[in-house]
Amino acid sequence: MKIAVIGAGNVGATAALLIAQKELGEVVLVDIVESIAEGKALDIAEAGPVEGYESKVTGKTHDFAVIEGSDIVVVTSGVARKPGMSRSDLLHVNANIITSVTENIVQYAPNSMILMVSNPLDTMCYVAKVISGFPRHRVFGQAGVLDSARFRTFIAMELNVSVEDVQAMVLGGHGDSMVPLPSYSTVSGIPVTHLIPPDRLAQLIQRTRDGGAEIVGLLKTGSAFYAPGAAVAQMVESIVKDKRRLLPTTCWLEGEFGLSGVYVGVPAVLGKNGVESIVEVPLTEEEKTALHKSAEAVKEDMKRWEESRQK
């Protein structure tokens, strides 16, 4: 397969490196900053002899023609958050960038899948879907894998156990209203609700919601990129190898979970066609209410973007 990564910043370059290491296909990096894509692509290629991977990795400035024939286009373009900013604060500037990027995807890779990473993630998925006209199984976003990884990390740290034995599920929008699901989070099959007191579990859930902001605050000049890049690579691998992994994925809903006309994170099977299916799981009333509240927050951003288009 051919995998294009739009945006050769920290997230894009990390994703490209991990995709190359997994030998998932030819990787093409594109960026608007002069020669950064070429430089990082060459650096990744030169790591191949050391790490033992044979992936072809190239980069190009501005020239979107190099993504022609891509099967998957990972979009990481846009402005990163700074301390004190929410993901929604990036809405208008990143929507303009994603609009331009999507128009180029339609021109050069009309049969591709779009894996969105740029923030505000859920609304940027919507922008890409509207501009591209692609069916919903080919436009989806990476957020839940990252948010779940953070939740899994905090649970493992709390219990002093291996992260390999921790599974977790985080649904909803990729923002302050995301919905970690303790009822579907386990350690070797044991529900975390049996292992962690409710008040402490609530603190871990809040830390998960604040996970991105915590890293932004620590870095001060950027946002997270190692974990987001790893999450992208996991999703790409499930598609390329048709693994059909059940992963929390930002999907366009058409009635699932009682929601329609909105992008939010839900359990989805990822395979060779992109989103193969959405898996509806029973939720408690509290979880259902939280998911619908999260969806409403995403719809507000979608509405703001639509209104800006009319001006």
The continuous run of DSSP H or E covering 131 comes out as helix 121-132
Catalytic residue among 62, 137, 174, 194: 174
Tens of pLDDT, residue by residue over 95-133, are: 999 999 999 999 999 999 999 999 999 999 999 999 999
Q: Alpha-carbon distance 124 to 117, whole Å?
A: 8
The continuous run of DSSP H or E covering 250 comes out as strand 245-254
- List the Cα angle 299/145/245 in 5-degree steps: 110
**Which phi and psi (to 5°) does residue 291 adopt?**
-65, -45
Q: Alpha-carbon distance 275 to 59, whole Å?
A: 28
Tens of pLDDT, residue by residue over 18-51, are: 999 999 999 999 999 999 999 999 999 999 999 9
pLDDT value, residue 89: 75
Domains of the chain: 2-141 (3.40.50.720), 144-307 (3.90.110.10)
Token pair in block for residue 228: 């987001």
- For residues 77, 81, 82, 83, the Cα torsion angle rounded to the nearest 10 degrees is -160
The continuous run of DSSP H or E covering 253 comes out as strand 245-254
pLDDT value, residue 65: 96
Tens of pLDDT, residue by residue over 72-89, are: 999 999 876 666 666 567
pLDDT value, residue 308: 85
Contact 174, 120 (CB under 8 A): yes
State the DSSP string of 162-190.
Answer: -GGGEE--EEB-SSTT-EE-GGG-EETTE
pLDDT value, residue 87: 57
Which residues pair with residue 270 across a beta bridge? 245, 275
Q: Exposed (0-12), middle (13-18) or buried (19+): which is 311, by Cβ within 10 Å?
A: exposed
Residue 13 one-letter amino acid? A
pLDDT value, residue 90: 78
Please list the ranges in the chain whose pLDDT falls under 70: 80-88
The conformation of residue 242, written as its DSSP 8-state character, comes to T
Contact 58, 28 (CB under 8 A): yes
Look up 62 and say whether it is catalytic: no
Closest CA to 178 of 170, 188, 186: 170
Percent of the chain having pLDDT more than 90?
88
